[in-house]
A and B are shown apart, each in its own frame.
Chain A
Amino acid sequence: MGGDFISYELKEFKLFEPLFRWARKKSIWLVAFCTGCGGIEMPPLVTARYDIERFGMMPNPAPRMADLFLITGYVTPKTLKRIIITYELMPDPKYILAHGSCPINGGVYWDSYNVVKQLDKYIPIDVAIAGCMPRPEAVMDGIREIMRKIENGEADGWRRYRENYEWYRKNQDELFGEGWRERDAKRWLAWL
């Protein structure tokens, strides 16, 4: 499988950067991947009452086209594997909005044996919304915050992940054991 996959980084055009930042702010596509209990808070956001499509946001089922990853609620190690793989599928620049107390410090699952307590150790979080569960108003506030950060160029989680990849990789390997990517890939695609 090694050779048939090319990923290339593109040169940054300083001249058009403000235009692109404005476009990134006005057109955030979400990964439709709801972890934990916060998924149920999403329907009010996309339907008539809070309609996030007026900001150009849209749930997008394909991770290759997406910009924003919403972690909605607690993350178990099993979900975290999928989250990391989906996050690495998304092209730069990409942002993560952690939703609720659980990704920050475990929340009500603070002493659970099977919940990831601090998500920021495994993937970089740009904006975190506290609360259990945050109401749609709080989520809208978080969305405004990430839009502001994107416009100012402060939402640099993707750059942190690229620069500190060894550190994140070390933390992930401590949790799942060495070579977990290959093992999981073999389980899904038996012919590898």
Chain B
Amino acid sequence: MFEWKLALEAIGMVIYATFMGFIFMGIERKAMARIQRRVGPPIYQPIIDTLKLLGKKESVSHGFIYDFGPVFALGASIAALLFIPLANFQLFSSNADLIVVAYLLEVPMLGIMLGAMSSGNPYSAVGVQRGLLTMVAMQLPYGLALIAIAQYWGTFKLNSIVALQQLHGWSITVPALLLAFIVFDIVFQAMLGLEPFDIITAPAEISMGPMVEYGGKHAALLFTQHAVQLFAETAFFAVLFLGGASNLLELLIKQIAVLFIAIFIASIYPRFTIDQAAKFFWKWPTILGIIAVILAGW
């Protein structure tokens, strides 16, 4: 039997997440502008940008894989979103949500890389190489932070992690998980592609990195994907460390708090080069992560 309620909930959740993701991107640009003492664009600017890209009269394609890349990325983002317990909605559930979501949040990057590589642009190739190296570098501390979480709460199910946090206090009040929080926050900058680790789309160096050849409708699809991804990643962060939420408003406040930490870090620090980033990831966050795992096991 086809479950109408589940389908409607999923569609509503995707629309809500896309809209709020665009607003988050607007907040990001506006807050950066205010920090640099500019007026900044209106908060709904990313929606206008996406509309404009959809309204382009011409679109350039380099073949099937090029078209397939953004669709693949958007699909993975939406799948990750539906596994995360957003307030009292969790549409899909399994025994190992944590692992599924952690991997699904990495997949969109691979989709973009797939599409970018098929365009044959040298800037795309450099961007893809940097992106893959950043991913390899950040997997280790990212995995350690997640292991610390799973070790301390003794479960891989995201909704039991939320329930346990509401019973025993948020994750960040536990010393071991506070260290994991710091590690995850450093990795989070790289996941969002923000400043100290925005080596992938380094705008002044390699044009736009993997996105250089995308224009028109493809770019609009990538913008939508970025919005959903931003929403899903901030929600994942809030669920793991800030005690989840019982309604969407509470979740929204926590997501915006997480977003502002990322924006402030991004507006202060300059960009790492790729070798510095890899060295950094394999040094300090890894050490902190190992300490967090050991402490969480006690």
Contacts and interface: CB of A to CB of B under 8 A. Distances in A.
Interface stretch (B1-9, B202-210, B224-232, B273-281): B202-210
Contacts of B63: 4, 6
A24 B52 contact: yes
B60 interface: yes
A65 B36 contact: no
A39 to B, nearest CB: 14
A35 interface: no
Interface in A86-126: 90-93
A192 interface: no
Interface in B200-224: 203-204, 207-208, 211-217, 219
A89 B55 CA distance: 17
A146 to B, nearest CB: 14
A60 B203 CA distance: 8
B55 A20 contact: yes
Contacts of B56: 10, 91-93
Contact of A65 (B29, B39, B215): B215
A54 B33 CA distance: 9
Contacts of A90: 215
Interface stretch (B43-51, B102-110, B179-187, B249-257): B43-51
Interface string A148-162: 000000000000000
B63 to A, nearest CB: 6
B38 to A, nearest CB: 4
A19 B51 CA distance: 8
B38 A51 contact: yes
**Chain B, interface size: which category?**
35 or more
Contacts of B215: 62, 64-65, 90-91
A27 B45 contact: yes
A23 B48 CA distance: 5
B198 to A, nearest CB: 13
Nearest to A91: B58
B233 to A, nearest CB: 23
B40 A10 contact: no
B40 A92 contact: no
Interface string B41-82: 110010011011111111111110000000000000000000
B41 A53 contact: yes
Given A9-B57, A51-B33, A91-B57, A56 B48 contact: yes
A6 B52 CA distance: 21
Contacts of B58: 7-10, 91-92
A84 B48 CA distance: 28
B168 interface: no
A61 B203 contact: yes
Contacts of B53: 65
A60 B215 CA distance: 12
A64 B41 contact: no
A22 to B, nearest CB: 8
A190 interface: no
B57 A92 contact: yes
B59 A91 contact: yes
B41 A91 contact: no
Nearest to B123: A62
Given A48-B38, A54-B38, A64-B214, 18 more contacts: A4-B63, A4-B120, A6-B61, A9-B58, A10-B58, A23-B49, A23-B51, A24-B52, A26-B45, A26-B48, A26-B52, A27-B49, A51-B33, A54-B42, A60-B208, A62-B207, A64-B213, A64-B219
27 contacts: A4-B62, A6-B62, A6-B63, A7-B61, A8-B59, A8-B61, A20-B51, A20-B52, A23-B51, A24-B52, A27-B48, A47-B38, A51-B38, A53-B33, A53-B38, A55-B41, A64-B215, A64-B219, A65-B53, A65-B211, A65-B215, A91-B56, A91-B58, A91-B59, A91-B216, A92-B56, A92-B58
